[in-house]
Amino acid sequence: MKQKQLFEHHAFYFFELLMLLAGFFLIIIFSYSVIIQFMILMFVLMSYITLGFIHHHINHDLRAKIVLEYVLISSLILVAFLFLNSSRL
């Protein structure tokens, strides 16, 4: 693997980590409102899916299996959030 490609991979992973950490901390900060938490989570999950698609498209390995994986992981996180906060809705 070329050095530039390795840097691009690390840059994507670093940006994704920052995005997920920022979302996590925002959800903690807005713990008083489940609606705001839900909107933050939806933004983070849509960003996660979009960033994953862009990353795989640039590397020419975007397949239906990868798309399904990103959508299912995001759906699982969303369902877990809704389940754990069902008493607050």
Report the C-alpha gap between 34 and 42 in whole angstroms. Answer: 12
CB of 26 closer than 8 Å to CB of 40: yes
Q: What is the pLDDT of residues 36-65, one digit of tens each?
A: 999 999 999 999 999 999 988 988 889 999
* Confidence (pTM): 0.86
* 62 close to 56: Cβ distance less than 8 angstroms: yes
DSSP state of 32: T
Alpha carbons 86 and 16: distance in angstroms, whole number: 28
Please give the share of the chain, as a percent, with pLDDT higher than 70.
92
Q: What number of CA atoms fall less than 13 Å from residue 13's CA on the CB side?
A: 6
Percent of the chain with pLDDT over 90: 72
